[in-house]
């Protein structure tokens, strides 16, 4: 079996020009935010303690803790609101569709009995309030003519609701049952956010984080005027990604989120103290690379938007590697002092790495878009790159050989000493090549797969190699005899995206589009596998072993998870 040990959570889904909503539970120092079809819940004092709720069918937009902290209400772009248990099996308690369009904000009443939502809808249905366990409505919300961007419950009795939106209005409702009381028409543009003060005496329409990359703390005077108390400057490079799009004040924590997905947590009691910074990926993670000599163990992850992040086992976020040419990444390989990347053009980039600092990139054109990039571990200056129609050998940043083929290449791997390569094709065949200097010679053709080859990896002891295909099958081969070593690895239900070997060559793991990762033991039948169901929503795209009993997975949900493998 596999036990989840750590989660390196993704960042909130951000969009330039639109704020994001962070929810907080002050009792447990926990925050919640939305990304993709998931709701992420994590503790501020223990960032590795994070998990995802992934049962929405559409992109999630807002999540809020109930006043007692036992329930979470989350909403999505289709207008659906789900109320589910925060603990245990996180069972669904209720589901409603109060709006016909996207829900932009959601709030619980202070007694935990009612929920108000606002957003987009047909006609005048931009706001709804309902009893959360039955769904029955508790009032009529007239007064808005356009999308309502924000809403809030007055935190003390008598209950009131305020709303604001794209019609430049802030509306006030009395109840329950709630009905329109009056409007405030002082704004001259969209009102993005509206909130009551904790004692319920005032509601304010002030946004405290900005595209100017600063957060501001305001003192609200007796006459309701705002006086600037302090400006918080978040560390960063000064680029567009440092624009601030979300904030939360919870207990002593002042939390800000940037467009690039970076959290900065300031202390309210000591704002001059350096903020705690952590981040995560925003897009699908496409690959994982372990630095085996690192202590503690360090893993690099890449996403197709060109972001490279460093993760430290037991710590979590270890920083972002900033390249001077921040191009998209399709293929990625790395050793301790060098990164090698390719994007969606014909170029391979070699980038020197010194700690967290990336040096200048040396590029080379390989004559086609690479679909696989392999470093010979024992001599990493040597690389094998394959395109759809050719095999290219690189020495440092120089092409030393290009071999054209008459079949379509889909994947490849090179032995650690650079003397042999296995090339997979669209026709499901594996072709073994010997490499001598700049000469590539075909030695054998292996036939077992019934789909296009998607991944190939040599075992660390180089006695075997494993291959996987788009028809959900993986095969382990003996390198010397070129015979099948482990077969019937047919337990995925969709395309296999990636493979990884344990350091002792005893285990091989596969990750698939079916959201699962499966671990096979070489000396046992495939049926005695360990299956990690639902490892990543949308599919598993990256795998690596940290040690013989620890597997790291990454996927389309932009999260990274560390699993401890327990043999039965």
For 313-353, the pLDDT digits (tens) are: 999 999 899 888 778 899 999 987 889 999 888 999 999 98
Contact between 85 and 104 (Cβ < 8 Å): no
- Is the per-residue pLDDT at 308 higher than 80? yes
pLDDT at 456: 97
pLDDT at 26: 83
Mean pLDDT of the chain: 91
Residue 358's pLDDT band, with cuts at 50, 70 and 90, is confident
pLDDT tens by residue, 124-144: 689 999 999 888 899 888 889
CA distance 82 to 419: 56
pLDDT tens by residue, 369-426: 999 999 999 998 999 999 999 999 999 889 999 999 999 999 999 999 999 999 999 9
pLDDT at 259: 92
Length of the chain, please?
Answer: 568
- Is the per-residue pLDDT at 279 higher than 60? yes
pLDDT tens by residue, 431-472: 999 999 999 999 999 999 999 999 999 999 999 999 999 999
Q: What is the DSSP string of 201-265?
A: S-EE----B-TTSEEEEEEEPTTS-EEEEEEEE--S-SSGGG-EEEEEEETTEEEEEETT--EEE
pLDDT at 48: 86
- Is the per-residue pLDDT at 167 higher than 70? yes
Contact between 333 and 373 (Cβ < 8 Å): yes
Tokens at 330, concatenated: 């399709």
User: Residue-wise over 240-252: b if at least 16 C-beta within 10 A, else e?
Assistant: ebbbbbbbbbbee
CA distance 203 to 219: 14
Strands 276-278 and 244-250: unpaired
Tokens at 459, concatenated: 């075992």
pLDDT at 207: 64
Most confident of 162-166, 218-222, 422-426: 422-426
> In a 3-state reduction of DSSP, which class is residue 116?
strand
pLDDT at 501: 97
- Is the per-residue pLDDT at 256 higher than 90? yes
Higher pLDDT, 18 or 419: 419
CA distance 440 to 560: 37
pLDDT at 452: 97
Average pLDDT over residues 23-47: 91
Contact between 218 and 206 (Cβ < 8 Å): yes
pLDDT at 73: 97
41-55, 202-216, 501-515: range with lowest mean pLDDT: 202-216
Torsion of CA 373, 376, 379, 382, to 10 degrees: -40
Residue 157's pLDDT band, with cuts at 50, 70 and 90, is confident
Please report, rounded to a whole number, the percentage of residues in the chain having pLDDT higher than 70: 98
pTM check: above 0.85: yes
Q: Of 170, 109, 102, 169, give the one whose Cα is nearest residue 139.
A: 109
CA distance 148 to 62: 14
């Amino acid at each position: 079996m596999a036990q989840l040990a750590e989660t390196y959570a993704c960042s909130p889904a951000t969009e330039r020009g639109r704020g994001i909503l962070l929810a907080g539970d002050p009792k447990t120092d926990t925050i919640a935010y939305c990304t993709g079809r998931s709701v992420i819940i994590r503790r501020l004092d223990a960032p590795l303690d994070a998990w995802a709720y992934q049962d929405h069918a559409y992109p999630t937009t807002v999540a809020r803790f109930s006043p007692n902290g036992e329930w979470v209400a989350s909403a999505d772009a289709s207008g659906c609101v789900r109320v589910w248990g925060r603990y245990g099996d996180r069972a669904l308690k209720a589901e409603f569709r109060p709006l016909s369009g996207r829900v932009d904000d959601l709030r619980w009443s202070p007694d935990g009995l009612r929920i108000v939502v606002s957003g987009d809808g047909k006609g005048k249905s931009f706001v709804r309030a309902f009893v959360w366990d039955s769904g029955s409505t508790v009032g009529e919300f007239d007064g808005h003519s356009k999308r309502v961007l924000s809403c809030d419950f007055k935190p003390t009795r008598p209950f009131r609701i305020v709303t604001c939106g794209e019609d430049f209005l802030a509306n006030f409702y009395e109840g329950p049952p709630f009905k329109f009381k009056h409007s405030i028409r002082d704004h001259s543009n969209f009102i993005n956010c509206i909130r009551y003060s904790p004692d319920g005496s005032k509601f304010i329409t002030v946004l405290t984080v900005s595209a100017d990359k600063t957060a501001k703390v305001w003192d609200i005077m007796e006459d309701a005027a705002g006086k600037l108390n302090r400006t918080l400057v978040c560390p960063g490079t000064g680029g567009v990604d440092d624009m601030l799009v979300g904030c939360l004040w919870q207990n002593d924590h002042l939390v800000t989120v940037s467009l690039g997905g970076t959290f900065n947590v300031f202390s309210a009691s000591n704002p001059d103290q350096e903020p705690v910074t952590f981040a995560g990926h925003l897009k699908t993670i496409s690959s994982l690379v372990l630095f085996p000599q690192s202590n503690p163990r360090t893993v690099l992850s890449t996403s197709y938007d060109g972001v490279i992040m460093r993760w430290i086992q037991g710590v979590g976020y270890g920083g972002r590697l900033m390249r001077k040419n921040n191009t998209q990444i399709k293929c990625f390989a790395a050793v301790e002092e060098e990164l090698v990347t390719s994007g969606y053009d014909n170029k391979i980039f070699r980038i020197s790495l010194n700690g967290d600092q990336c040096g200048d990139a040396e590029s080379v054109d390989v004559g086609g878009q690479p679909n696989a990039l392999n470093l010979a571990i024992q001599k990493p200056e040597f690389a094998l790159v394959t395109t759809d129609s050719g095999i290219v050998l690189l020495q440092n940043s120089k092409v030393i050989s290009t071999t054209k083929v008459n079949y379509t290449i889909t994947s490849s791997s090179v032995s650690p000493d650079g003397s042999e390569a296995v090339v997979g094709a669209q026709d499901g065949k594996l072709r073994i090549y010997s490499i001598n200097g700049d000469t590539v010679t075909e030695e054998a053709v292996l036939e077992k797969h019934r789909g296009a080859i998607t991944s190939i990896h040599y075992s660390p002891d180089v006695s075997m190699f494993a291959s996987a295909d788009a028809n959900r099958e993986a095969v382990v081969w003996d390198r010397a005899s070129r015979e099948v070593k482990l077969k019937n690895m047919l337990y995925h239900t969709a395309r296999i995206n990636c493979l990884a070997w344990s350091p002792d060559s005893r285990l091989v793991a596969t990750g698939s589009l079916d959201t699962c990762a499966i671990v096979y033991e070489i000396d046992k039948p495939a049926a005695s596998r360990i299956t990690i169901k639902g490892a990543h929503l949308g599919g598993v795209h990256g795998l690596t072993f940290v040690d013989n009993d620890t597997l790291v997975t990454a996927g389309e949900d932009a999260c990274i998870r560390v699993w401890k493998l327990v043999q039965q």
